[in-house]
């Protein structure tokens, strides 16, 4: 089952989207918003699944689904907690600035609390008031949970995964060092994130969803050219079950909590940092990583951060090269 929220009011209008993303059926007679559905999942899930089946069988009225009309599936949420599960990425960034990475980072997940009061839709521009802030994309996998009790095990946590999707976790890189030096984590350096047009139930992903990971390539294009083709199922040190259980160690998580993987990142086949796609590598899921590789290699970064007019595309494909979650496609607006 694929779910989306068409732009309407603060929380959107819930629709069920066909497997091929071409059509939608209004779900308002079952439940008005995705948050309301997650709040009452056991009661509404069956009806929503029946609607999705009827839609795919073309036995109910349907409308064309246009990704540009979609808000983030949760246009606002009660929690957005982003991990940093591809520890390879963290190790690289540290290496570039000459900082040692504690060995514990391989066992104890990094996670920050993100702002969740307003997200960008998949086609919304990225507002950037000041290019000197160093605007970066971060292509990630996310899951949405139901209620997760305090102290949940990894297995219980995985069972609470309701939906899977993608995000562009926009970051203002030049504001990060100052904020992290203050010790309280990210705030101004993390403006609104964008999400994929649809979120998908794990069962609809079949074998692509296993071991708490999405086993598909995360496709990233920058200004129309291939930039990232990393395999999201590889080099993910902490699976989503582990990330959710980490978040729930000292408090319960409310239904509709979004948990992020952190920037997807693969080692190169030779064990070193990933190479650009033009050099036969799988590329990158954020600018910071290619800048890091450049810094290690050349002594300084040459790839610039995003500026007004730059475009970012993020998606994942099925075996016929059709987007699974739709496509995030954003232009930076100064």
Least distance to a second copy, CB of residue 150, Å: 7
Least distance to a second copy, CB of residue 137, Å: 15
Pick the stretch among 65-73, 136-144, 254-262, 307-315 that binds a second copy (CB under 8 A). Answer: 254-262
Q: Does 113 bind a second copy (CB under 8 A)?
A: yes
Q: Which of residues 168-227 bind a second copy (CB under 8 A)?
A: 172, 175, 180-189, 191-192
Pick the closer one to a second copy by CB: 141 or 172.
Answer: 172
The Cα 190–Cα 259 span in angstroms is 15
- Interface residue with a second copy among 20, 108, 211, 333 (CB under 8 A) is 108
Q: Does 47 bind a second copy (CB under 8 A)?
A: no
- Interface residue with a second copy among 133, 199, 238, 305 (CB under 8 A) is 133
Question: Residues 200-218, buried b or exposed e (16+ Cβ, 10 A)?
Answer: bbbebbeebbeebbbbbbb
- In eight-state DSSP terms, residue 201 is -
Contacts of 44 (CB under 8 A, 6+ apart): 30, 31, 37
Phi, psi of 69 (to 5 degrees): -90, -5
- CB contact at 8 A, 97 and 260: no
Q: Does 295 bind a second copy (CB under 8 A)?
A: no
Q: Does 308 bind a second copy (CB under 8 A)?
A: no
Pick the closer one to a second copy by CB: 93 or 314.
Answer: 93
Q: By three-state DSSP, how is residue 72 classified?
A: coil
The torsion defined by the Cα of 2, 223, 289 and 243, in degrees rounded to 10, comes to -10
Residue ranges in contact with a second copy by CB under 8 A:
10, 39, 76-79, 81, 84, 102, 105, 108, 110-118, 127, 129, 133, 150-151, 172, 175, 180-189, 191-192, 246-247, 249-257
């Amino acid at each position: 089952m694929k779910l989306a929220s068409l732009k309407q009011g603060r929380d959107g209008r819930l629709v069920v989207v066909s497997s091929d993303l071409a059509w939608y059926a209004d779900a308002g007679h079952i439940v008005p918003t995705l948050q309301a559905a997650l709040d009452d999942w056991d009661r509404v899930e069956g009806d929503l699944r029946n609607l999705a089946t009827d839609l795919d069988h073309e036995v109910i009225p349907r409308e064309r689904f246009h990704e540009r009309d979609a808000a983030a599936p949760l246009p606002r949420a009660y929690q957005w907690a982003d991990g940093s599960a591809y520890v390879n990425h963290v190790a690289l960034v540290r290496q570039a600035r000459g900082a040692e990475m504690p060995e514990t980072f391989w066992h104890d997940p990094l996670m920050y609390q993100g702002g969740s009061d307003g997200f960008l839709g998949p086609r919304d521009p990225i507002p950037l008031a000041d290019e000197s802030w160093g605007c970066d994309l971060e292509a990630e996998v996310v899951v949405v949970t139901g209620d997760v009790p305090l102290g949940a095990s990894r297995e219980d946590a995985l069972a609470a995964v309701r939906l899977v999707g993608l995000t562009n976790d926009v970051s203002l890189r030049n504001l990060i060092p100052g904020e992290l030096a203050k010790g309280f984590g990210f705030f101004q350096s993390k403006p609104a994130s964008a999400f994929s047009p649809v979120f998908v139930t794990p069962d609809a992903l079949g074998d692509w969803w296993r071991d708490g990971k999405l086993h598909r390539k995360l496709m990233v294009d920058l200004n129309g050219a291939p930039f990232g083709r990393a395999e999201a199922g590889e080099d993910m040190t902490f699976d989503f079950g582990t990330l959710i259980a980490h978040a729930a160690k000292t408090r319960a998580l409310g239904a509709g909590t979004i948990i992020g993987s952190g920037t997807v990142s693969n080692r190169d086949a030779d064990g070193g940092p990933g190479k650009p796609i033009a050099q036969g590598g799988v590329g990158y899921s954020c600018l910071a990583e290619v800048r890091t590789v450049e810094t290690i290699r050349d002594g300084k970064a040459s790839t610039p951060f995003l500026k007004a007019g730059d475009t970012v595309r993020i998606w994942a494909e099925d075996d016929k090269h059709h987007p699974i979650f739709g496509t995030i496609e954003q232009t930076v607006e100064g």
